[in-house]
A and B are shown apart, each in its own frame.
Chain A
Amino acid sequence: MQKIMVCIKRVVDYNVRVRVKPDASGVMLDGVKMSVNPFDEIALEEALRIKERGANIEVVAVSIGVADAQQQLRTALAMGADRAILVQTDAAVEPLTAAHAFLALAKKETPDLIFLGKQAIDDDANQTGQMLAAIWDRPQATYASKVEISAGKANVTREVDAGLETIEVDLPAVITVDLRLNEPRYVKLPDIMKAKKKPLEVTSLDALGVSAGVHLKVLKTEPPAQRQKGVIVKDVPELVAFLKQKGLI
């Protein structure tokens, strides 16, 4: 194993309660706190742990997005990635486009493993890793909660609806990570200073030969139906009476 690529997406911080614009044209993103997609932090942490266990592995953090996505890549560098690549674009990047951009990077970088989050918490698409694996013609191990690397292979335990499933994949492979794989480290101040000196290359979709096609047009963005506020009962007998009256018990 020589190289691991990790996809880092800039998303609205998970603590922000996102609001829809009154004209239904999208969500309000002005001045909102942006962070690394939480799943991608877990993906990077896993790559770093593999690196720290083994010899000479390079961890490359890559992102597709606006110029400010450099902030999230700097966070990745501070966590311990060796270098970073930003595919800079202002376009709305659909998962298929993202997968093609990552494929172009994979062809250049020839990583043994590509880690992604299982989903990005903005669009919740849960697609990019699987699409990348498909067009790269390599195995995919999605929703990983345990990853064990041995010669040329990875054993991955996956969180599935029925419980846990274990598969073995040949490397190179794509792994998308779930929440319980690990707990990402905190970044310390000296690491942030050090990260400023690490290389961050900026490229473009054009340079990679990828066009930002629009397959899905978003016609409108609306708030979800609101639930009506209910009643507060004062004790258990009242609760039971409520449930009985509703025919629930």
Chain B
Amino acid sequence: MHKILIVGEHDGKTLNPATAKCVTCATGIADAQISIALFGEDTSAVASQAAALSGVESVLRVDRPENAHPLAAILAPQLVALAADYTHVFGPSTSFGKDLMPRVAGLLGVAQVSDLMAVEGAYRYRRPIYAGNAIVTVESDPSRKLLATVRVASFQAAATGGNASIESKALNVALPTHTRYLGAKSGSTDRPDLQTASRVVSGGRALGSAENFKLLFSLADKLGAAVGASRAAVDAGYAPNEMQVGQTGKIISPEMYMAIGISGAIQHLTGIKDARTIVAINKDGEAPIFEVADVGLVGDLFQIMPELERLIGT
């Protein structure tokens, strides 16, 4: 039997869909018994959401004031304490999981599989390297605990309808005071979330300004799509950092990805390889984005976008 502990990601109110994707990943392991750990100030609301995920047996709540913000240095020793009874500890490959999990692996003195994309056995997995230009199959030592971050774009969310037990855990763990949360800023909007949206409209350097990015927002609103950006567009200040798609931004898998004025550098493509349909609009017919696009249109985006927006409405 394999006992798998998944670290749930949440904002105190809503369980991040990445958690349900980790559950699906874990159910790919034979004889898996799955638990979800939740750290927070008050995790009652998210605990019931986690308990409803099908395939989960138990939800472990660790509520204390120090857990109000997910600081890796604070959460890691608590997760180490919880992990004692488990053979595997999984977290999502989001900024939360990527920050936390290696710290836990370090404390435990075990290796971590980053960006786990396919399960081939309880200790055998596939993961991408070189910005997705190669896929390795790795095997870890079954006598040691295995830590992994799960590449969420590779898995569907687990269904609801489950009825896991919910348990509060009081951990007797000393927490460091050397790390303090000061604040957060997000350009969050009421648009769909980039990481979970089924449609994404993304813009590159060619947009030329933050002002022109509004063209993209307007098209996205018409489609009910989230908005993404290339690194060049983010670096130039046309879009905020949380919109960046790619090797060092977000890895996404929408039904439709529309790349507008994006050349298709490997670092960008690695973020969109799992999109069902890729649409490319670029004035250069030789742009590498056309190599991966399911449908391409060569032309000037400033002429194409208004017409596209008009025709989509009809």
Contacts and interface: CB of A to CB of B under 8 A. Distances in A.
Give the size range of B's interface with the partner: 35 or more
Contacts, number: 249
B199 A236 contact: no
A64 B47 CA distance: 43
Nearest to A166: B182
Contact of A248 (B195, B256, B266): B256
B247 to A, nearest CB: 7
B30 interface: no
B7 to A, nearest CB: 14
Nearest to A124: B129
Nearest to A130: B102
A169 B273 contact: no
Nearest to A121: B131
Contacts of A55: none
Contact of B134 (A142, A161, A221, A232): A221
B90 to A, nearest CB: 15
Interface in B19-70: none
Interface stretch (B81-89, B159-167, B173-181, B207-215): B173-181
Q: Is the interface of B mostly helix, strand, loop or mixed?
A: mixed
Nearest to A136: B106
A230 B256 CA distance: 14
Interface bracket on A: 35 or more
A135 B106 contact: yes
Given A130-B72, A230-B293, A121 B139 contact: no
Contacts of A165: 181, 183-185
Interface of A: 12, 14, 17-20, 27, 94-96, 99, 118-119, 121-135, 137-143, 145, 155, 158-170, 173, 178-180, 215-224, 227-240, 242-243, 246, 248-249
26 contacts: A14-B267, A17-B133, A18-B133, A20-B134, A122-B130, A130-B100, A134-B104, A140-B72, A160-B95, A161-B195, A163-B187, A164-B184, A164-B241, A165-B181, A166-B184, A168-B182, A169-B178, A180-B241, A221-B134, A223-B135, A227-B273, A231-B296, A235-B297, A236-B311, A240-B308, A240-B312
